């Protein structure tokens, strides 16, 4: 599936250093602080629910909107938060603070377990698996008599904070919104960081992020657990706000409702969660007030009108409301302060030493032999072209070398190490960088952020330090490196554009910059000249030559013979998955078998 056409204004994430955004945030903060004093009492009630929904939806924004893993099960984790405290505070008289810890611990364990099992499923199996366990948990809550069954648990105590009982809505309001704003801050920080860029890259398929050393299963599981913890927190707050729980609010319908809020708000940004929760909650309330006046009858029409409005809204704003609003927000490119300590660089191998050795590589898909006993070598500082007609197995060969596909038989050695059984991220760690035949940039991230993702393996900060903004030095170094690579490829002027807004040819060059940001020893370029104009091709050729001078080794797949001939040191020709010829460009060009393969008999 091609990436949806991105709106350049929809670049999300970088909030650091944007003073207008700070101003908006400050206004929002004041509004939140004053709301209970100015708004009618009932609106405080609504704002409390909006806060709770925002928290659960925030988790879904991360998991579904950003990381691309659709889940219907978010409400079940809200239920786990609510039921843990509901049962333990009423039956064992535990302190709500203790039950909060227990609920979070339980969610962590369950989330990890469920995440591990379900996230290993790809495609559409994942959403339906979330429906399955979501419903199982829901029905379990209703069936166990100790948990109050479907009738529910009454008499849940209020939360006390420093001896002050939060049993009034206005007081609990502040508590809820401090938690919500804190969670938003942490999540916004997280998304704008090393692991955050990896999460945002997940939607482009695991192949892309793994090529930069991201362990996708771990990252997905971590996001899943984070989403579950946010949901659990929301549930814990719900139980102590409502002081009553029964299974109804934690069923599949509510799970869908959270998904609704995320999509309608704008699932690619943390603010979309608040926007979606606010819009849906207020809309339902207004419809409840308005429809009886318009139709002269209460009830029954709300759901119908609500559904129609949602359909119309999505038809006019399929990315949700946030991108709509962001057009009106002032935007300034992120500041890129210089790095105190630049990122460490690798030492390149000495010229002529073996970098890559492909030994009898073979790959079959079912009965089809895609790559058959192919062997060749690439030495340091060489530029080697891998060519062949369509369907010759070039890209499959690339995917075998980079570890994106497992070999059926044969072996691959990279820097004298056997990498045949290694994962893509492990091979990337050894110093292999690559681009993709179908461009895989994160369309909604800026160009420089995309390139910074390439430097993933050169940083170390994890989720927690990133969320708490303890990653300043490393971030500055990563962005300085990204800018350096953009200058190297000549796209520094586009650093702050949304990657998806560039023409395809330029996007290919951004991919090269991203691969370079990983400081690779061997660079695999998959059809880098496709879609480029003549002048751009000249520039690309010059760039590849410069890379060679800088000590890089390059293996490239290309169709454009003219482009390849003047550029490479050697050529390897594939046809029908087999090696047809190899040698100097002129030798290969003169080879009758090659001419036949290309021109047809």
Binding to other proteins, residues 432-491 (CB under 8 A): 438
Q: Of 46, 343, 379, 565, which lies in the binding site for other proteins, with binding defined by CB under 8 A?
A: 46
Dist. CA 437–CA 466, nearest whole Å: 32
Task: Determine which helix (DSSP H) or strand (DSSP E) holds 417, and give its type and residue range.
Answer: strand 417-418
Task: Determine which helix (DSSP H) or strand (DSSP E) holds 358, and give its type and residue range.
Answer: strand 354-365
Alpha carbon distances (Å) from 573 to 68, 373, 384, 407, 528 = 38, 13, 11, 20, 17
Q: Of 41, 344, 599, 601, which lies in the binding site for other proteins, with binding defined by CB under 8 A?
A: 41
Q: Of 108, 252, 354, 492, which lies in the binding site for other proteins, with binding defined by CB under 8 A?
A: 252
Q: Of 19, 23, 29, 42, which lies in the binding site for other proteins, with binding defined by CB under 8 A?
A: 42
Q: Of 38, 93, 311, 599, which lies in the binding site for other proteins, with binding defined by CB under 8 A?
A: 311
Task: Report 158-187 residues binding other proteins (CB under 8 A).
Answer: 169
Closest CA to 281 of 306, 250, 311, 248: 306
Dist. CA 154–CA 148, nearest whole Å: 9
Q: Which is nearer to other proteins, 176 or 597 (CB)?
A: 176
CB of 170 to other proteins, least distance (A): 11
477 neighbors 541 (Cβ within 8 angstroms): no
Task: Determine which helix (DSSP H) or strand (DSSP E) holds 267, and give its type and residue range.
Answer: none
Q: Which is nearer to other proteins, 51 or 68 (CB)?
A: 68
Alpha carbon distances (Å) from 261 to 66, 72, 81, 357, 363 = 14, 12, 20, 52, 45
Residue 508 contacts by C-beta under 8 Å, 6 or more apart in sequence?
435, 439, 528, 529, 530, 531, 532
76 neighbors 133 (Cβ within 8 angstroms): yes
CB of 243 to other proteins, least distance (A): 5
Q: What are the tokens at 315?
A: 């038809």
Q: Which is nearer to other proteins, 256 or 492 (CB)?
A: 256
Stretch that binds other proteins, among 308-316, 339-347, 354-362, 381-389 (CB under 8 A): 308-316
| Residue 64: DSSP 8-state | I
Q: Which is nearer to other proteins, 15 or 156 (CB)?
A: 156
Q: Which is nearer to other proteins, 370 or 489 (CB)?
A: 370
Dist. CA 232–CA 81, nearest whole Å: 4
Task: Report 502-531 residues binding other proteins (CB under 8 A).
Answer: none
CB of 349 to other proteins, least distance (A): 32
CB of 21 to other proteins, least distance (A): 23
345 neighbors 430 (Cβ within 8 angstroms): no
Alpha carbon distances (Å) from 313 to 3, 70, 169, 243 = 21, 21, 32, 35
**Residue 299's CB: how many other CB atoms inside 10 A?**
9
Based on the shown chain and the rule CB under 8 A, indicate whether residue 371 belongs to the binding site for other proteins: no
Q: Of 217, 248, 423, 437, which lies in the binding site for other proteins, with binding defined by CB under 8 A?
A: 248
Site string for other proteins, 141-160 (x = CB under 8 A): -xx-----xxxx-xx-----
Q: Of 310, 415, 541, 561, which lies in the binding site for other proteins, with binding defined by CB under 8 A?
A: 310
Based on the shown chain and the rule CB under 8 A, indicate whether residue 408 belongs to the binding site for other proteins: no
Task: Report 315-354 residues binding other proteins (CB under 8 A).
Answer: 315, 318
Task: Report 105-144 residues binding other proteins (CB under 8 A).
Answer: 117-118, 120-125, 127-129, 131-133, 135-136, 139-140, 142-143
Task: Report 206-225 residues binding other proteins (CB under 8 A).
Answer: 206-207
258 neighbors 60 (Cβ within 8 angstroms): yes
Phi, psi angles (nearest 5°) of residue 334:
-70, 145
CB of 99 to other proteins, least distance (A): 19
Based on the shown chain and the rule CB under 8 A, indicate whether residue 541 belongs to the binding site for other proteins: no
Q: What are the tokens at 398?
A: 């690339």
Please identify which residue in the block is written with the tokens 């962005």.
479
DSSP state string for 220-239: HHHHHHHHHHHHHHHHHHHH
434 neighbors 523 (Cβ within 8 angstroms): yes
The CA-CA-CA angle for residues 245, 249, 250, to 5°, reads: 100
DSSP state string for 285-342: HHHHHHHHHHHS--SSSHHHHHHHHHHHHHHH-TT-HHHHHHTTS---PPP-PPPSSP
Task: Report 11-40 residues binding other proteins (CB under 8 A).
Answer: 40
Q: Which is nearer to other proteins, 163 or 299 (CB)?
A: 299
Q: Of 286, 338, 464, 473, which lies in the binding site for other proteins, with binding defined by CB under 8 A?
A: 286
Q: Which is nearer to other proteins, 145 or 162 (CB)?
A: 145
310 neighbors 283 (Cβ within 8 angstroms): no
Q: Which is nearer to other proteins, 97 or 150 (CB)?
A: 150
Closest CA to 591 of 572, 569, 576, 567: 572
Q: Which is nearer to other proteins, 318 or 346 (CB)?
A: 318
CB of 263 to other proteins, least distance (A): 5
**Residue 1's CB: how many other CB atoms inside 10 A?**
4
Stretch that binds other proteins, among 256-264, 389-397, 481-489, 523-531 (CB under 8 A): 256-264
Stretch that binds other proteins, among 14-22, 261-269, 498-506, 568-576 (CB under 8 A): 261-269
Q: Residue 596: beta bridge partners?
A: none
Stretch that binds other proteins, among 103-111, 225-233, 290-298, 348-356 (CB under 8 A): 290-298
Sign of the CA dihedral with 139 first, then 141, 146, and 148 last? negative
- Compute the residue count for the chain: 601
Q: Which is nearer to other proteins, 134 or 195 (CB)?
A: 134
CB of 45 to other proteins, least distance (A): 5
Q: Which is nearer to other proteins, 297 or 350 (CB)?
A: 297
Binding footprint of other proteins, residue count (CB under 8 A): 79
Q: Of 64, 74, 99, 466, which lies in the binding site for other proteins, with binding defined by CB under 8 A?
A: 64
Stretch that binds other proteins, among 6-14, 29-37, 190-198, 295-303 (CB under 8 A): 295-303
**Residue 316's CB: how many other CB atoms inside 10 A?**
7
CB of 344 to other proteins, least distance (A): 31
């Amino acid at each position: 599936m091609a990436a949806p056409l991105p709106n350049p204004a929809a670049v999300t994430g970088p909030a650091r250093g944007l003073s207008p955004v700070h101003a908006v945030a400050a206004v929002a903060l004041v509004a939140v602080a004053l709301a209970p004093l100015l708004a009618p009492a009932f609106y405080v009630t609504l704002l409390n629910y909006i806060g709770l929904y925002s928290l659960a939806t925030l988790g879904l924004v991360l998991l579904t909107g950003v990381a691309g893993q659709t889940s219907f099960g978010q409400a079940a984790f809200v239920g786990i938060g609510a039921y843990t405290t509901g049962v333990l505070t009423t039956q064992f008289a535990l302190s709500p603070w203790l039950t909060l810890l227990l609920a979070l611990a339980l969610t962590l364990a369950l989330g990890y377990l469920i995440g591990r099992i379900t996230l290993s499923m790809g495609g559409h199996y994942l959403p339906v698996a979330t429906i399955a366990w979501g419903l199982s948990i829901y029905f379990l809550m209703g069936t166990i008599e100790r948990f109050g069954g479907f009738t529910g648990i009454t008499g849940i105590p209020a939360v006390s904070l420093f001896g002050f009982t939060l049993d009034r809505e206005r007081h609990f309001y502040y508590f809820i919104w401090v938690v919500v704003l804190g969670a938003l801050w942490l999540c916004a920080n997280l998304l704008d960081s090393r692991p955050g860029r990896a999460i945002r890259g997940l939607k482009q398929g695991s192949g892309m992020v793994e090529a930069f050393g991201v362990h996708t299963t771990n990252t997905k599981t971590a996001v899943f657990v984070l989403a579950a913890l946010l949901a659990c927190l929301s549930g814990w707050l719900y139980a102590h706000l409502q002081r009553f729980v029964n299974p109804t609010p934690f069923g599949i319908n509510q799970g869908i409702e959270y998904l609704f809020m995320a999509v309608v708000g704008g699932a690619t940004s943390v603010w979309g969660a608040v926007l979606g929760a606010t819009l849906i909650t207020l809309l339902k309330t207004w419809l409840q007030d308005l429809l009886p006046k318009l139709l002269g009858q209460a009830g029954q029409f709300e759901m119908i009108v609500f559904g129609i409005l949602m359909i119309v809204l999505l038809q006019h704003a399929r990315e949700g409301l946030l991108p709509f609003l962001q057009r009106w927000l002032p935007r300034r490119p992120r500041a890129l302060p210089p790095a105190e300590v630049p990122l460490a660089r690798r030492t390149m191998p000495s010229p002529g030493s073996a970098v890559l050795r492909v030994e009898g590589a073979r790959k079959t898909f079912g009965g089809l032999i895609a790559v058959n006993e192919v062997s060749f070598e690439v030495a340091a500082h060489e530029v080697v072209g891998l060519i062949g007609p369509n369907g010759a197995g070039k890209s499959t060969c690339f995917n075998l070398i980079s570890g994106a596909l497992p070999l059926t038989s044969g072996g691959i050695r990279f820097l004298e190490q056997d990498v045949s059984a290694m994962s893509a991220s492990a091979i990337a760690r050894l110093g292999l960088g690559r681009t993709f035949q179908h461009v895989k940039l994160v369309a909604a991230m800026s160009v420089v952020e995309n390139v910074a993702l390439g430097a993933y393996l050169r940083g170390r900060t994890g989720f927690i330090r990133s969320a708490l903004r303890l990653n300043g030095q490393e971030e500055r170094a990563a962005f300085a490196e990204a800018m350096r690579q953009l200058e190297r490829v000549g796209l520094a002027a586009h650093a702050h554009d949304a990657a998806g807004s560039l023409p395809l040819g330029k996007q290919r060059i951004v991919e090269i910059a991203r691969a370079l940001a990983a400081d690779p020893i061997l660079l695999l370029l998959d059809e880098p000249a496709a879609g480029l104009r003549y002048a751009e091709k000249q520039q690309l050729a010059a760039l590849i030559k410069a890379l060679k001078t800088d000590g890089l080794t390059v293996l490239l797949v290309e169709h454009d013979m003219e482009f390849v001939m003047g550029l490479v040191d050697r050529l390897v020709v594939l046809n029908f998955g087999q090696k047809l010829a190899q040698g100097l460009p002129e030798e290969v060009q003169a080879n009758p078998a090659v001419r036949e393969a290309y021109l047809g008999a």
